[in-house]
Structure 1
Amino acid sequence: MKVIKTISAMQKYSTHCRKISRSIGFVPTMGALHDGHRALIKADRHTNRIVVVSLFVNPLQFGPREDFQQYPRTLTQDRLFCEKAGADILFVPNGHAMYPDGFQTTVLVGKVTQGYEGQSRPAHFDGVTTVVTKLCHIVAPDRVYFGQKDYQQAIAVKQMLLDLNMPIKMVMRPTVRESDGLAMSSRNTHLKPNERGAATVIYHALKEGGRQIRLGERSGARIRGAIERVLNTEAVVNVDYVGIMHPDTLEEMKKLTGRVVLAIAVYIGKTRLIDNVIVRVPTL
């Protein structure tokens, strides 16, 4: 595995790959890698000749009260992780190179970013879509990989790629979970032992929502209520939102048909966690 630290070197490498018709798959990350990232790298490896992973903690997607300074930075471990997982290139740009003095441009995606995470974390998606646009221009991949846990983010990137005529396919892979169902996340390391135990209620609540749908419930409001009741069984869990959303438009679904995304954001202590499941609604 080769480590590339400059934008110009990454662009030169990508240009060489295109000249010799080698497909590039790209996994953008902020580091603190775990088995969820391993699954993305594995999927990338299965489809593409060249696997590029980036490590960049993007300041633009953190709000003023969020955990940018506390976000785990584990470059040495992440480098070994990527090498063992099968990456060919580890791209590690620095902040000044990505956002030099005088940087002024922001990439804004509209409707799909406005609710849920976009409402709870103003300007978060502006930072995400800006950095992903920059990284995709630098790496020039054929495919870019995201996990389902960050569902709204993946849909925002898909919309951005479409709207900007970028010839890149967004590939979304299933959420990877701990043995007790908790979605893998770098932020799980912030949880105290009692909070870690309580966090399993997130997946239990999502499963209860899916169970109610399979039993015949079609009211979005009642499904939300069922999910919230499970979440409220843990005193340390504070609900940010429960979303009952259309998988493509992310609009709130009042009457459930087809497929539906059940999404949760909660605070457990000072740690904010998100998760979701996609449920196919049976025909009654």
Structure 2
Amino acid sequence: MYAGNIIVDLEKPTILELLNTLKSAEKLDKLPQNIENNHVYRLCLIEKCKDDYKADGFLWKNIGWTFYSKAGQEFRKSYFKCSTSIKENENKFKKHVYISTANNLDIIVIYLGNKEYAELRPRGNVKKSKIAAPFRRTLPSTLSEIRETVQHNTDAKVYKLIVATSETETSRPRNIKQVNNLRQGFLSKHRPTNDELLNVILMSYEINDYIRLASFPNLTVVLIHKEAEETFQYLLDTTDEYIQLYYDTTFKIGSFYLSVS
């Protein structure tokens, strides 16, 4: 059943109408690409996509929120009006979002007015606004996927992978710079600090039987037991045969891989 047939007044639905919408209306796992005027969408989301309804292709101003409650049933209602350069048009296209407090994955989104009044324009202080592309918000779930993937891949590889598998414009990165920024953010958080580098230097002085080299500014640390090194050097000096090295095992310590031969 279409939710608009359940709610009589889209501006002020009753608690009963909202509950009936959750119960009887068609459940969507995401907002459609093309939003309709004066329309109601009943969303049933999964955890990783619970904020994706916010990226619907329009720019909004959040003008407040309140609780809708009656007889123990409660919704959190948020009010939005379209962000436009013409102030008189801001209230001509609005959005009301109702989130069930019993399950925050049950969401009702109501669009009011005419979406033609919503401008697609660059965001923020863009100097060359006449040639700048309109701002398009990327789905929060896509940003989460990018943050996870750039931990193990280059920004270019991640960008190509997500663009190739995405179904809609909002489910892909805005551009490669967006992916690059997230990649650089991850790298900067995991870059060794001065204290950590100093600790490695001090350890190389104290246990030089194991830490034989610590070079900077590009960190290179070689760990080898002194007696094992002398034994290996003896083999090199006493034989003309080719000596192969074998890695017995590799295991992870924190974010580092350690190989033992």
TM-score under structure 1 length normalisation: 0.24
Q: Which has the higher contact order (CA 8 A, sep 6+)?
A: 1
TM-score under structure 2 length normalisation: 0.25
Bigger Cα Rg = 2
